[in-house]
Chains A and B, each alone.
Chain A
Amino acid sequence: MIAIKTKKLTKKYKDKVAVNKIDLTIKQGELFALLGVNGAGKTTIIKMLSGLILPTSGEIIIEKMNMKKEVFKIKEILNVSPQETAIAPNLTVKENLEFMAGVYQIEEKDNKISELIKQFKLEEVLNKKAKTLSGGWQRRVSIAISLINDPKILFLDEPTLGLDVIARKELWKVINSLKGIITIILTTHYMEEAESLSDRIGIISNGNLVEVGTSKELIKKTKTKSFEDAFVSIATGGEL
């Protein structure tokens, strides 16, 4: 079953083409990583796929629904953990979870909140104001919040950026536990993260989707020794 399908997805800003005619198909339960250098167009693609900005042209189909016609229905079944930590600073961790449960009108919100507290081991910070937490904890809360509506599709925009190695490994464990259950679209600058977590990887360069495949397929295709070398080769068009 297909979770996400784009047809010639394009975003232009005046003369600049940020995303250029991207055709992408992501299966249900797949963890798909989007890689690219800074400014390649990854975040713009996520913003379009999550209904935050409108494409200039092209089509987005999510779980058989057309983004243009059923944007609010689509928004019910997806969630996003943005690049920067997106939590209400003066609210406690529990209040943040309750607030987002209210945003998605979760019926059995107490059960769902308890489940997330347990899953993300949030007990010790539950009554602390979000702004007093360390970056690692804030990121963990931010990702916990993004699961409040049991999304069918989850966008993780550089989820481990700025985290120490232990916090990163802990988040990997959580992300791994979601694989197969939720369709996850992940952007990252860490090659080992993409290689370790994802089922398939799409490489974006100058707004174009230049390659899609598993890490092994991409290494084989570029005749390189590591995935990092494969990425560099693809992203630079073989110049490096």
Chain B
Amino acid sequence: MRMLNFARRNFKELIRDPLSLVFEIVLPIFLLFIFQQFNIPAENYKLENFTPSIILFGFSFITLFTATLIAKDRTSSFLIRLGTSPMKSSDYILGYILSLLPIVLIQNVLFFLAAIIMGLEFSISIIPTILVSMIISIFFVSLGILIGSLVSEKGTGGLGSIVVQLVCFTSGMYFPKDSIGGVFELICNILPFEACLNIIQGTLHKNFSNLTPVHIIVFLIYFIAVLLLSIIVFKKRMISDNK
């Protein structure tokens, strides 16, 4: 299977980049640890709420490093070589997505292990939470494919950082949106990150009271739109880069 062969190569490229491992795994665990030391008296920072936030935070770096890998591939003639091979567009897109899923799984397992060591009560709902978050991660990988197809390697740093900031401030990870209200609350409603966090938290808590139909619709629209756009733009860029 060409797709799996390509996924294996992408996986090796990613895990052999020490910076990617630091930002995707070490930094989120450090954040989880440090915020537990502060004992902040707010619901957001309780382990059962903050662990899903950390999962989402880790995904924002998945976007950043996926984008960097693709931008590097595009500029290094590597994709020219593959473009003359019998690989099809589906092999590329699925190869990129599949290569990230083991990293997402490792992230999730390590985040929950760290959280349990810090005091999170073990619950069987951790397993469906990991599965659900892996589905959500496909959105973040697609976003990375889209960014990596649109901009150069330098540009991925800037756009990737914006995604990281948006996840931090609009997901409700650090503070609830209604504590600011107004335009900020509207932005949080329009963007998909709060919906992602509510889905992961709801699955872990086995309680979806914070999850509204609007959240589901917003997430699905972004998920489908970004996935389709990433395929279209990647295919177009594969051709235009080689004109």
A80 close to B84 (CB less than 8 A): yes
| A51: B residues at CB distance < 8 A | 83-84
B242 close to A53 (CB less than 8 A): yes
The stretch from B4-12, B56-64, B139-147, B219-227 touching chain A is B4-12
Q: Is B210 in contact with chain A by the CB < 8 A criterion?
A: no
- Whether A103 contacts B2 in the complex (CB less than 8 A), given A72-B86, A85-B77, A89-B76, comes out as yes
Give Cα A145–Cα B80 distance, bound, in whole angstroms: 13
Q: Is B243 in contact with chain A by the CB < 8 A criterion?
A: yes
B13 close to A87 (CB less than 8 A): no
Which of B6, B81, B82, B86 neighbours the largest number of chain A CB atoms within 10 Å of its CB? B81
Q: Is B120 in contact with chain A by the CB < 8 A criterion?
A: no
Q: Is B85 in contact with chain A by the CB < 8 A criterion?
A: yes
| A88: B residues at CB distance < 8 A | 9, 12-13, 78
- Whether A53 contacts B5 in the complex (CB less than 8 A), given A79-B84, A84-B76, A95-B12, comes out as no
Q: Is A99 in contact with chain B by the CB < 8 A criterion?
A: yes
Q: Is B127 in contact with chain A by the CB < 8 A criterion?
A: no
Q: Is B16 in contact with chain A by the CB < 8 A criterion?
A: yes
A99 close to B239 (CB less than 8 A): no
Q: Is A102 in contact with chain B by the CB < 8 A criterion?
A: yes
The bracket for how many chain A residues form the interface is 35 or more
Q: A residues near B, CB below 8 A? A: 13, 47, 50-54, 72, 75-76, 78-91, 95, 99-100, 102-105, 129, 145-146, 155
- Whether A103 contacts B5 in the complex (CB less than 8 A), given A88-B13, A89-B76, A90-B12, comes out as yes
Instruction: Mark contacts of B1-27 with chain A using CB atoms, 8 A cut-off: 1 yes-contact digit, 0 otherwise.
Output: 010011011001100110000000000
Give Cα A129–Cα B12 distance, bound, in whole angstroms: 11
B242 close to A91 (CB less than 8 A): no
Give Cα A53–Cα B76 distance, bound, in whole angstroms: 17
A99 close to B5 (CB less than 8 A): yes
Could you tell me the distance in whole angstroms from the C-beta of A144 to the nearest C-beta in chain B? 13
Give Cα A155–Cα B84 distance, bound, in whole angstroms: 10
Closest Cβ neighbor of B15 among chain A residues: A90
- Whether A86 contacts B76 in the complex (CB less than 8 A), given A53-B242, A53-B243, comes out as yes
Given contacts A75-B84, A86-B77, A100-B85, 7 further A-B contacts (CB under 8 A): A13-B243, A51-B83, A52-B84, A75-B86, A82-B81, A89-B13, A103-B87
Instruction: Mark contacts of B69-82 with chain A using CB atoms, 8 A cut-off: 1 yes-contact digit, 0 otherwise.
Output: 00010001110111
